[in-house]
Structure 1
């Protein structure tokens, strides 16, 4: 189907729709009644994913489009749409063409990235260009970042707090794409926290951190997890000066294995050029996870986002218990699309989910679909 026939008909493009997260985005777009184009590099994979993995797809208003991963081809596909939801990672490698195509066609952009270096690139290089066109550039719209940001924003409703100590945990296995992103990003990019409004590098060989997680007696193991999105989002927030984030999975053997896998991969690829190194790291990631995880089970796939906010004379703690972190990600992006098709975002250019749509609004969406409990907020003055 050529673009001339789709122009103006389907306002949302899901790029990478055949992947685990892309399918969930499509599922929630269907629930919101939003027409969409399911796009990717293989029409056969897209057709199979829509038919077999998106419940109720027969009632959705959608089309499948195969597209080459070039700025030119993506520009042709996006023309006539309003919102592009990008799930194709690693984003630092595959994202620039998508972002440029959005600029070319006047589309708002969201993605599900966990790559801090990609966020910094978007903030510094693309944010002003999107803002100049009145467009939203909102990367990292995902449970691992946005649900924790909601908790942080709730804590920051108490004035006088300037330091955020964030922990993000979830149950279950990462997807194929997440595993690849984790490994490639950990091996090739620095991880930063925010210290008095300046990026500071996490010690790369510090190993695992031990954290006390709300709701359990056992100490959990955590990593800086690439630095996460939060230090980048809050760098321009006048209330906040310092942000540190640690994250992990509840599966302790898996957490114990991650630093060893990364260390071995780094050593094995240290003398390779960038392209060979990427290919070798991707192959290592496939050895860790090369099958699509099962559909999430809320009894197994739990999430915990805990934020301690502090200032010279005040403290607040907010924790949000939830389930099905990938479903949360799918819903957050569908909600964003629904918003953007009806009214402008609260902020244009580079912005987090909460900055673009409001933390109470995003929390309301997650609550309405039964994915998170009411936040538990404790304030000490």
Structure 2
């Protein structure tokens, strides 16, 4: 495996999100390597990217091991990793990024992976002047933008009650992640301490801008409690989320109950096999490209403190496109200047929440935030 001849490597382009990252890198005129374990599949996916003939890119097949990935990443500056579940497949990509001297971004939805990455590699990346930023994705970054807007609107707020909703169906990789996190412990933040969720917990939430409600779940705890754990402004952070299709969420709740009763007692190998079979049965094909008239998203934050309250809602569309754009912009930014924070950091901590909001607005993926403050 020869070293990268491009500044950005997108690893996992055979999937839905990897394709979108490449699409937005093309729009930013950033040369990239489209890499994956199946070169033929990567080429087929890249060939379907609109306007790909104007991009500066190469397709590379690479095996999933530290040595091969380090060789590929050497010569690049940024790695955008979409190969999950990350708790299972992420370590090789992180180790290779660190060895090659690359900033590392991924799209994880796994709280246990973010916690593990912070503990194992956060200091090493900081010492190297590199960014380690898991979870640069709509489901986490857009809500984090809303939370930061709330916190800056009224000083002294210390509690975040967050909601993430979207219309659509998870991709194959997202479905695999959803079932992988069933094996992990999930945490919310209470008085600056991690407190475990009951895996069967659900919450009926009012949908901002609508008369109806939505069934939501802890969704693995999400990454927000991890990001705000070391933020002196925040003591408590509770997050739930889900899709706006009630039937899908009923299925998620039923599957969680089935896991607790039938699968958790099994040994780890049997657990993984059973969950993989369920995930494959639900979503094995690449879903259609998002339709902004159908695939809408809502990120809502109620921030409160002893003497103030703020509600911020960000209405958007095409959550996977938001993810692809956030990844591409982060890479584009890192090629031009150092991040605001090195080591383990969220997208907002590394690039600024107002800057990221401007990017999403510039590409027509979110409305201006709706902000209601009471003091």
Place the TM-score, normalised by the shorter chain, in its bin.
Answer: over 0.9
CA offsets 1:188-228 (integer angstroms, 9 cap, x no match): 0011000011000112223x310011111111110000000
Asked if the contact 2:24/2:324 (under 8 Å) is kept, the reply is yes
TM-score by length of 2: 0.98
1:235 equivalent among 211, 229, 237:
229
CA offsets 1:125-166 (integer angstroms, 9 cap, x no match): 211110000000011000011000000000000210000000
Is residue 345 of structure 1 aligned with residue 335 of structure 2? no
Pairwise mapping of residues 55-134 of structure 1 onto structure 2 (< 5 A)? 55-134=50-129
1:34 equivalent among 30, 34, 41:
30
Name the counterpart of 1:166.
162
Return the alpha-carbon distance in structure 2 between the equivalents of residues 270 and 279 of structure 1.
12
Structure 2: where are the runs of 5+ without partners?
Answer: none
Pairwise mapping of residues 82-231 of structure 1 onto structure 2 (< 5 A)? 82-157=77-152, 158-186=154-182, 188-206=183-201, 208-231=202-225
272-281 vs 236-245, which moves further: 272-281
78-87 vs 255-264, which moves further: 255-264
Q: Give 1:299 deviation, angstroms.
A: 0.9
Return the alpha-carbon distance in structure 1 between the equivalents of residues 81 and 235 of structure 2.
30
Name the counterpart of 1:279.
273
Asked if the contact 1:16/1:86 (under 8 Å) is kept, the reply is yes
Return the alpha-carbon distance in structure 1 between the equivalents of residues 198 and 274 of structure 2.
24
Return the alpha-carbon distance in structure 2 between the equivalents of residues 365 and 189 of structure 1.
33
Asked if the contact 1:166/1:306 (under 8 Å) is kept, the reply is yes
2:282 equivalent among 288, 311, 316:
288
Return the alpha-carbon distance in structure 2 between the equivalents of residues 128 and 121 of structure 1.
12
Pairwise mapping of residues 309-320 of structure 1 onto structure 2 (< 5 A)? 309-320=303-314
Q: How many residues align?
A: 374
TM-score by length of 1: 0.96
Q: Give 1:94 deviation, angstroms.
A: 0.2
1:321 equivalent among 288, 292, 315:
315
Is residue 257 of structure 1 aligned with residue 256 of structure 2? no
Q: Give 1:268 deviation, angstroms.
A: 3.8
Asked if the contact 2:105/2:132 (under 8 Å) is kept, the reply is yes
Q: Give 1:265 deviation, angstroms.
A: 3.8
Aligned-residue RMSD, C-alpha: 1.0
Q: Give 1:380 deviation, angstroms.
A: 1.2
Local SS of the residue matching 2:335: helix
Return the alpha-carbon distance in structure 1 between the equivalents of residues 21 and 264 of structure 2.
37
Local SS of the residue matching 2:312: strand
Return the alpha-carbon distance in structure 2 between the equivalents of residues 153 and 300 of structure 1.
27
Return the alpha-carbon distance in structure 1 between the equivalents of residues 176 and 208 of structure 2.
29
Q: Give 1:280 deviation, angstroms.
A: 2.1
Is residue 21 of structure 1 aligned with residue 14 of structure 2? no
Local SS of the residue matching 2:251: helix
Q: Give 1:348 deviation, angstroms.
A: 0.3
1:368 equivalent among 354, 357, 362:
362
Return the alpha-carbon distance in structure 2 between the equivalents of residues 310 and 264 of structure 1.
36
Asked if the contact 1:265/1:284 (under 8 Å) is kept, the reply is no
Structure 1: where are the runs of 5+ without partners?
Answer: none
Name the counterpart of 1:50.
46
Q: Give 1:58 deviation, angstroms.
A: 1.0
